Structure 1
């Protein structure tokens, strides 16, 4: 851990209640940032409280980030509380269903896009004016190597969009001293989710389709294994830090050699 690497920085981490988002929020707070943990689950309040008790400067906000209004409301509160936004980690997203594309219903496709594309799009739109007026900032968009994958085409489309946002915005915002990077996790070992993305139990067929994802992920990785949450957290925080100040407009795969 790099002590005080983010001292005097105001950092927003979305999807901070569990998984990679929680790991990022905990690490960046411990490395000196005043950290805003955002999630629509009230679990985020418990995560923030544990960090406060340990002496870290954090703020928890429950918000629906699938709308610009929801993101703007959260960003405005951060500005009112801390006066600026230096870092945004756009982490909200994740596969809801896993099945061949011909089995997706229209509503399911829309929900996948709303979950894994729009929070990043709205997040960038919401914080950019604040970063520009403050003289710069960093946005790290959490993507996925599942842009080349089986049984999750809508999710792949959403994360492909995240990669395009990252590349295009970096071109556009470099004159404003705003760096935009992506980090694309591969298969990552994580504790069982407190709140599942899909609340309905899997059928036997759905379990088979999900196993095909696991098998393909292992096969695509040169290291033939899943990574850890810490593998993802370390890369995301590197991207957000001044150590990466000469890197922008790229998405870094963290997937054991799978380039997505």
Structure 2
């Protein structure tokens, strides 16, 4: 069922020629698919991740790797500083870090788990955007593409939903502030995506029958809400992200594009 990286929607060779791009959460999944497509479309790319496997992923692409924990501002700032040292400038930032850690009804989350979900799926986007923004303002150009989720309306992952709702709000509000500087801020709302098995797990796998049932409820609700009745592929997500990052979307800002087979989220 999984499509190999690099397959799917046709690439547009040369679309990002001369452009410098940073992709976070790029060691696997959607982030890696975005990095593949950007490189295929002639961008000079930095892959950022806190997993050591980012070095291998970047080497396979002939791209740059930066190891950083974007759940802290210090990590985000160091990632941007190192990316600028590698690239000289940043034209595109793709904020892709995030993902549900636990799957269960809200009343079963502990306070620590709620905070962990917010740190995972909201703060990396807040911190990395804040770290790169002065550079984009100084050069008076740039595009920030945030990866949100249709799960802002969904079951058994309320803290994650709240975090992605924050990403949507950041997208809309920062677009207003940044437009006078020639900066666009946009987002995709990714639907269920059938990515290859993760090399680094987001969190603990369901251990009990009840936990497996709660996770299956997410899958069932996602497919039921999706008009196309299937999960997407990382390449389908990457195609939409790269479109928004490109000059083809030059008159689009402050918008969250659902990429969920008809589920608006």
1:48 and 2:58 matched: yes
Q: Deviations over 1:84-131 (max 9, x none)?
A: 111000000000000000000111000000000000001110111101
Q: Structure 2 residue aligned with 1:28, among 34, 38, 47?
A: 38
What's the counterpart of residue 76 of structure 1? 81
> Does 2:123 correspond to 1:113?
no
The aligned counterpart of 1:5 is 15
Q: State the distance in 1 between where 2:34 and 2:172 align.
A: 22
Counterparts of 1:81 and 1:18 in 2: how far apart (Å)?
21
How far apart are residue 201 of structure 1 and its match? 4.8
Structure 2 contact 102–204 (Cα < 8 Å) conserved: no
1:62-90 CA-to-partner distances (Å, cap 9, x unmatched) read: 10001111111111112222221110000
Runs of 4+ in structure 1 over 4 Å off? none
Kindly state the Cα deviation for residue 45 of structure 1 after the two structures are TM-superposed.
0.6
CA drift at 1:258: 0.4
Higher RCO, 1 vs 2 (CA within 8 Å, ≥6 residues apart): 2
Alignment partner of 1:212 is 2:222: no
Counterparts of 1:202 and 1:170, CA distance in 2: 42
Report the alpha carbon displacement of residue 192 of structure 1 after superposing the two structures with TM: 1.1
d(CA) in 2 for partners of 1:123, 1:87:
12
Q: Match of 1:55?
A: none
Aligned length: 255
For structure 2, list consecutive stretches of 5 or more residues without a partner in the other structure: 1-10
**Structure 2: distance between partners of 1:50 and 1:230:** 17
* Secondary structure, aligned partner of 2:36: helix
2:49 to 39, 59, 77: 39
Rounded to whole Å, the distance in 2 between the matches of 1:145 and 1:199 is: 23
Give, in whole Å, the separation in 1 of the partners of 2:86 and 2:190.
32
Whether contact under 8 Å (2:64, 2:86) holds in the other structure is: no
Partner-residue secondary structure (3-state), 1:180:
strand
Shift of 1:226: 1.0
On the 8 A contact 2:191/2:260 being kept in 1, the answer is yes
Equivalents in 1 of 2:124, 2:243: separation in Å?
22
